[in-house]
Amino acid sequence: MLSRLVGKGHRRRPPILAPVVASAMVVSLAAACSTGSSEGQGASGGMLRVGVVASTISTLDAYSNLRSQDFYVRNATMFEPLAHRTKDGGYQWALATGITHNKDNTEWTVKLRPNVKFHDGSAFSADDVIAVFQRVLDKKNALIERNYIDFIDPKGIEKVDDLTVKFKLPKPYGPFEFAVTNSNIIFYKKGSKPEQAMGTGPFRLVSFTPGRETLVKRFDGYWGAKPKLDQVKIISFKTAEASTNALIGRQIDASSNILQTSLPTIEKTPGLKVMKSDVNLKVSIGMRADTPPFNDVRVRQAMRLIVNRKLALTNAFDGLGEVANDHSGFDKCVPAVPQREQNLDQAKKLLADAGKSNLTIDLRTAANKPGMLQLVQILAEDAKKIGVTIKVQKMELGAYLEKWGEWTFYTGYDTRPYLEGVPEMISGDAVLNHNHWDDSEFKSLAKKLYATADVQEQCEIQKQMKKIEYERGASILTATNPTVSVYSSKVSGLVPEFPSGNLYDFTKVGLDQ
């Protein structure tokens, strides 16, 4: 299970988990589309300009809780996780070379990659790994990543030697390997300052202007295959419209934040190419389940019956992807429930039974994913037919994120495997469990899900959990879509990141001058 080193391959992970892998059933855009990567070799050198939709409020801290697209792209260039997950359910090792465990899954040993350097030339070691895990697990820091590894007791983390870390758990935990290889658990030099961005990644920091741009350059001391590019400039835009216009105007070379409604124009624009990922993106409409009117499950059910899913797929997402059914995850371990269809009469009755006829409510969106604004507009138009008024309020991303977890009716998105998303759904943290949904049966099943290492048992539990989401959850999930990226024909070697589908990996990118 090794990563980018020549002659090393993938190791399929042991049957501990059954992560949800997206299907590849998507509608073709045009002959100009590619699926998987941009072909060609490309020349070495040059600067790649990547456009992202980002908040005006951002920092260089690898663990900032205020996150927009620039955060993830920037981190992926400068920092690394223990391993990268692959489509086949395995791992491509990065800062680790292997993880082993005892028979009862209470003791796990992580072997680290030798000869890895930080951007200042110092050696990466077990001390740095332990420091990061201790920071993430410290409740006072309230970091998002703690939610994925809170089964770890900080006192049970031990340094065996410079390249070995042992984790002694208070109780068995089968998905340990899956949890600690989360792509957001990344490593920086112990004792370094956030503004130094002292990682081990293939690029190192040159300059950073919050809300505007980040410039990184090739790190020649990188342990893996050296990038072809000299530099990558990550340029922030407030909207997908602005990012799309910049692509068409040749102000940037690539972006995963584009308006899908602009694809016909883009396809006719010389020098631009379109690439789509697997079907792995779910744009959601969230309903805060602890606040009126959505603390009544009948109102949540009614909202799910109002929206025309087929119309949403066609008009909001340009027919890219497939209709979804109000539960998380993708095409594995799917519950045996009927596909939810629009039923305005039933929706009207449910609202009347709940005493919420002629409801008026605000729905806030940052419209930071393709189709997001169009989706809520379709919902609002359908709602008018039964006397419900939904006032769509489009917001600047930074202002929207500042109150994330407080909104009553709002939009979001997810690209994660089910096992990674569940911890947030059962969290007591409002930023993580942003729709404040609290279901005792769902939580009980979640405990069973993470206690077993049996793949089939995990799948059966997931089916039960997704059925609960379908019946009484707090999200409207209408479609599962590919992430669509657009790039200059001068660019080669781009690969959609798994599972998000975004453009994060620039190590193999070439740029014709």
pLDDT higher than 50, residue 363: yes
Q: Give the separation between CA 146 and CA 511, rounded to whole angstroms.
A: 38
Q: Give the separation between CA 51 and CA 37, rounded to whole angstroms.
A: 18
Task: Give the range among 352-366, 377-391, 398-412, 495-509 with minimum mean pLDDT.
Answer: 495-509
Cβ-contact 52, 213 below 8 angstroms: no
Average pLDDT for 75-87:
93
Q: Give the separation between CA 84 and CA 202, rounded to whole angstroms.
A: 14
Amino acid at 368: N
Cβ-contact 235, 246 below 8 angstroms: yes
Q: 463 pLDDT band (50/70/90 cuts)?
A: very high
Write down the pLDDT at residue 22: 31
Task: Give the range among 79-88, 114-123, 131-140, 213-222 with minimum mean pLDDT.
Answer: 79-88
List the one residue out of 409, 418, 408, 435 whose CA is nearest residue 327: 418
Note the pLDDT tens digit of each residue in 482-501: 888 999 999 999 988 887 88
pLDDT higher than 50, residue 28: no
pLDDT higher than 70, residue 18: no
Q: 349 pLDDT band (50/70/90 cuts)?
A: very high
Helices 455-472 and 297-306 pack at an angle, to 10 degrees, of: 90
Q: Which of 201-210, 321-330, 420-429 has the highest mean pLDDT?
A: 201-210
- For the record, the structure tokens of 34 come out as 């590619």
Q: Give the separation between CA 389 and CA 359, rounded to whole angstroms.
A: 6
Average pLDDT score over the chain: 88
Helices 344-353 and 297-306 pack at an angle, to 10 degrees, of: 160
Write down the pLDDT at residue 34: 47
pLDDT higher than 80, residue 121: yes
Q: Whole-prediction pTM value?
A: 0.76
For domain 278-481, give its CATH number from 3.10.105.10, 2.60.120.10, 3.40.50.2300, 1.10.260.40: 3.10.105.10
Average pLDDT for 80-103:
91
List the one residue out of 486, 493, 48, 74 whose CA is nearest residue 247: 486
Give percent of the chain above pLDDT 70. Answer: 91
Q: 36 pLDDT band (50/70/90 cuts)?
A: low
Write down the pLDDT at residue 41: 56
32-60+202-271+489-513: which CATH topology? D-Maltodextrin-Binding Protein; domain 2 (3.40.190)
Q: 189 pLDDT band (50/70/90 cuts)?
A: very high
Q: 38 pLDDT band (50/70/90 cuts)?
A: low
Output the DSSP codes for 364-426.
EE---STTHHHHHHHHHHHHHTTT-EEEEEE--HHHHHHTTTT-SEEEEEE---HHHHHHHHT
Q: 477 pLDDT band (50/70/90 cuts)?
A: very high
pLDDT higher than 50, residue 27: no
DSSP letter (8 states) at residue 117: B
Domain ranges of the chain: 32-60+202-271+489-513, 278-481
Write down the pLDDT at residue 427: 87
Q: Give the separation between CA 90 and CA 87, rounded to whole angstroms.
A: 7
Who's near 221: CB < 8 A, 6+ residues apart? 117, 119, 121
More confident residue, 200 or 370: 200
Alpha helices (runs of H) in 3-99, residue ranges in sequence order: 69-78
Amino acid at 489: S
Q: Give the separation between CA 44 and CA 513, rounded to whole angstroms.
A: 9
Peptide bond into 292 cis (omega under 30): no
Cβ-contact 87, 500 below 8 angstroms: no
Average pLDDT for 319-348:
93
97-136 CB burial, b ≥16 within 10 A, e <16:
bbbebeeebbbbebbbbeebebbeeeebbbebbbbbbebb
Note the pLDDT tens digit of each residue in 160-188: 999 999 999 999 888 899 899 999 999 99
| 3-class SS letters over 299-356 | HHHHHHHHCCHHHHHHHHCCCCCEECCCCCCCCCCCCCCCCCCCCHHHHHHHHHHCCC
Average pLDDT for 350-357:
98
Average pLDDT for 29-55:
67
Cα angle 62-417-139, degrees, rounded to a multiple of 5? 40
**Phi, psi at 471, each rounded to 5°:** -80, -40
Write down the pLDDT at residue 240: 86
Output the DSSP codes for 446-459.
HHHHHH---HHHHH
More confident residue, 263 or 330: 263
Cα angle 467-468-470, degrees, rounded to a multiple of 5? 65
Average pLDDT for 228-232:
97
